Structure 1
Amino acid sequence: MEWIQLPLGPLQTNAYIIYNSDRKCLIIDPGEEAQKIRQFIQKKGLQPQAILLTHAHFDHIGAVDPIRQEYRIPVYLHQAEKKWLSDPSLNGSTFFAGIQPIEVDSADKVFPQSGEISIGDFSFTLLETPGHSPGGVSFYFHKEGFVIVGDTLFEGSIGRTDLPGGKEQELLKSIHNELLTLPEDTYVLPGHGGVTSIAQEMDHNPFINGF
């Protein structure tokens, strides 16, 4: 299995495409610039199976509808943010100057409780990691050794908690209970910035070392 990180839009939000040897793929957090996503899919000859959202902030959902419509695939989101896709005041797009209010059609599927998930040819562990937002989730591909964390954890930093539903202590609890308990050599694929690892953040992240 392979993955690619695609920084998209004015905030350079990381979308991820996870794909296997059969050319099936999952699309994670298509935040903007749908054409860049299409170009990579076409270049590799991939067959998308689903869109997965780590959370429903505007910079992670802007290309959901064009990608969903083109490939006729379902969108998965946590139940706690089911109303956020169509509500700019919840997804945060009303709070930033120069950002058009973003409204996206409802998710097709809601994630069940945390645990093992299978979607098409892919299996992973769903980790509930709220704090940056109420329905934040992470996708842990244990056999492949990486976890996609959205805006929960960054290289040397953590997600902001000043948007609707954000709670700093809940975020820190999610990081410690769900992410820092993973094997230390697990790669961390964040919603912004570069790839890091659990070990790197345990040793050097000032926001979590004192929790």
Structure 2
Amino acid sequence: MARIPLEDNFTDVIGKAQRGLHITDADLAGRAGISTEDLAALKSGRPLVAVLRRVARHLRLSPDALEALATNAWYPAQPNFPTGFAAFNTRYDDMTVNSYLVWDARSKQAAAFDTGADSQALVDTAAAEHLSVRYLFLTHTHEDHIADLARLVAATGAEVWSHEKEPLPGAKTFRENAHFHLGPLAIKTLLTPGHSPGLTTFYVTGLSWPLAVTGDAIFASSIGGSTTDFEQQYRATRDKVLSLPRDTVLAPGHGPLTTVAQEKQANPFFAR
């Protein structure tokens, strides 16, 4: 399988932190003791390590993790699920978006998470594994995550569930700490808002590894963006996602799989 690129590069991370903290270029340059020209060069994509490390400290970012990202020195080790889990990465405009399928191998009951831009591969996998897709859980209702909703529902007959703060016509709604079951699989909802009001992380146990489907709460080496609720996004992700067991696999809305342990070490927003 082709390696999925990281969702954000180091300039994206700097931009998200700067916008979220409402720090202007002039203010950031002054705090970091660098010229506005050097800051502009850094933000244009030049990995000026000394400048980067100064900037990181004033954006609450880990200098070491940001440097590793800027120098392409890190990519998350990819976990292996022998059965019961499949990931799908589909192109949406100028980016790619993920969707996921989990199932109980014995009962063949399954749940899908988001639709991606094209749900055909998910539908084909469900058919090949002889699965009954009982639920379609939506991490949030931004268009790229529900782009193929109608076709996926028509193909599987799945019940659609979204958070009560982001209702959709025809969908059932849940609150935080709702519980669902597929045989031995347990699925718990964790509200992780900021990027959107009802952004939900689904914590799944009963597979080979604990799994958190995070939508746009966190990505490998980055975080979901928010210009209005950045602090809420940061705290919810830190307190509810990164507090999960260290071996929990994180299945984000964009970019590759990662784990809680890896993000605590290598995510510029959370590494210390």
TM, length-normalised to structure 2:
0.64
Structure 2: gaps (5+ residues) = 1-82
Contact 1:157/1:207, CA 8 A, preserved across alignment: yes
Contact 1:77/1:107, CA 8 A, preserved across alignment: no
In structure 1, the partner of 2:268 is 206
Deviation at 1:116, TM superposition (A): 4.7
Q: Distance in 2 between matches of 1:148 and 1:53?
A: 10
Q: Which has the higher contact order (CA 8 A, sep 6+)?
A: 2
Deviation at 1:207, TM superposition (A): 1.6
Deviation at 1:149, TM superposition (A): 0.4
Aligned runs of 1:15-54 on 2, under 5 Å?
15-21=99-105, 22-54=107-139
Q: Distance in 2 between matches of 1:41 and 1:19?
A: 9
Q: Distance in 2 between matches of 1:119 and 1:141?
A: 9
Contact 1:132/1:160, CA 8 A, preserved across alignment: yes
Contact 1:132/1:171, CA 8 A, preserved across alignment: yes
Contact 1:15/1:28, CA 8 A, preserved across alignment: yes
Aligned pair 1:142/2:216, yes or no? no
1:51-108 CA distance string (max 9 Å, x none)? 10000111100111111123222110011111xx5xxxxxxxxxxxxxxxxxxxx142
Contact 2:88/2:116, CA 8 A, preserved across alignment: no
Identity of aligned residues (%): 28
Q: Distance in 1 between matches of 2:243 and 2:109?
A: 30
Q: Distance in 2 between matches of 1:34 and 1:124?
A: 21
1:116-153 CA distance string (max 9 Å, x none)? 51255442221110011110000111343111101101
Contact 1:13/1:31, CA 8 A, preserved across alignment: yes
Contact 1:74/1:107, CA 8 A, preserved across alignment: no
Q: Distance in 1 between matches of 2:203 and 2:214?
A: 8
The structure with more strand, counted as a fraction of residues: 1
In structure 2, the partner of 1:3 is 85
Contact 2:110/2:134, CA 8 A, preserved across alignment: yes
In structure 2, the partner of 1:128 is 191
Q: Distance in 2 between matches of 1:73 and 1:2?
A: 17
In structure 1, the partner of 2:158 is 73
Structure 1: gaps (5+ residues) = 86-105
In structure 2, the partner of 1:155 is 220
Query: How many residues matched?
Result: 184
Contact 1:76/1:107, CA 8 A, preserved across alignment: no
In structure 1, the partner of 2:232 is 170
Contact 1:116/1:123, CA 8 A, preserved across alignment: no
Where does structure 1 differ by over 4 angstroms across 4 or more consecutive aligned residues?
Answer: none
Letter in 1 for 2:85: W
Q: Distance in 2 between matches of 1:155 and 1:117?
A: 26
Q: Distance in 1 between matches of 2:233 and 2:178?
A: 22
Contact 1:76/1:109, CA 8 A, preserved across alignment: yes
